[in-house]
Amino acid sequence: MTVSEYLKSKEHDLEYIKMREREEQELQKRNEAFVIESIPYVQDCSRFDYNIKTAWGLANAKSINPELIPIMIKYLSDLSYSDRFRECIARSLDVPEAMPYFKDVLNIFNKENNDSKVKWVIGHALSLLAKKQDEVDIIEKMIYDKKLGINRSPFLHTVKKRMRGEQLERVLAFAREDPELKINLKVNRLK
């Protein structure tokens, strides 16, 4: 049975219809809560001429006013916001203007609970911000820290873009033997 055939078979199933209505209502509530939660951030962004409706508004920006980065860091570090909201902020930090804030993002990453859904995304932002050799060295140490679990996998981006020579070989040898990182070597086209 194809998906379309299955859905057609459910067109008159009252139980299924009620379940879908409940799901739609729940999604609507979550989206409304997200928009409300985004209001202070949206207002702060508007001071810098960014006309966005939610926190997702800057998530795919190629460039951001550097003066906005400290505000983004403030919101990202505030654990009272939802994971979804903070994930948007972390994804928005994937811009060159955020590179001077590597240590701030690192502090947020280190304070984040290991099983938080946001930690991986913050790690991804961190991996993109690491430019200087001392920052790349910090990423290397974090790759070896097995307590970070799967949250280490975004750091393979740094391996690919910033590590060379002996450091690169050392990290790749480790990652090939680590079950959580090994699978991500292929994703990052590393061998």
Please tell me whether the overall predicted TM-score, pTM, comes out greater than 0.85 for this model: no
pLDDT digits (tens, 9 = 90+) for 158-184: 888 888 899 989 999 999 999 989 887
Sorted by sequence, the CB contacts under 8 Å of residue 96 that are 6+ apart come out as 63
Question: Do 90 and 163 share a structural domain?
Answer: no
Query: How many domains does the chain fold into?
Result: 2
- C-alpha 103/C-alpha 153 separation (Å) is 19
122 and 31 share a domain?
A: yes
User: What whole-number distance in Å separates Cα of residue 133 and Cα of residue 142?
Assistant: 14
Q: What would the pLDDT profile of 47-79 be if each residue is shown by its tens digit?
A: 988 888 888 888 878 889 999 999 999 999 999
**57 within some domain:** yes
Model pLDDT, residue 86? 95
* Per-residue pLDDT at 191: 63
What is the full DSSP assignment across 62-125?
Answer: S---GGGHHHHHHHHH-TTS-HHHHHHHHHHT-SGGGGGGHHHHHHHHHHS-TT-HHHHHHHHH
What residues make up the domain containing 182? 131-191
Whether residues 120 and 147 fall in one domain? no
Residue 6 lies in a domain: no
Amino acid at 149: G
CA dihedral over 169, 173, 174, 180, signed as positive or negative: positive
**Within-domain flag for 13:** no
Q: Single out the residue in 113, 129, 145 at which a domain terminates.
A: 129
Q: Report whether pLDDT(142) > 90.
A: yes
Q: How far apart are CA 32 and CA 11, in angstroms?
A: 28
36-44: Cβ within 8 A, 24+ apart: 37/81, 37/82, 37/85, 38/85, 41/71, 41/75, 41/85, 41/89, 44/68, 44/71
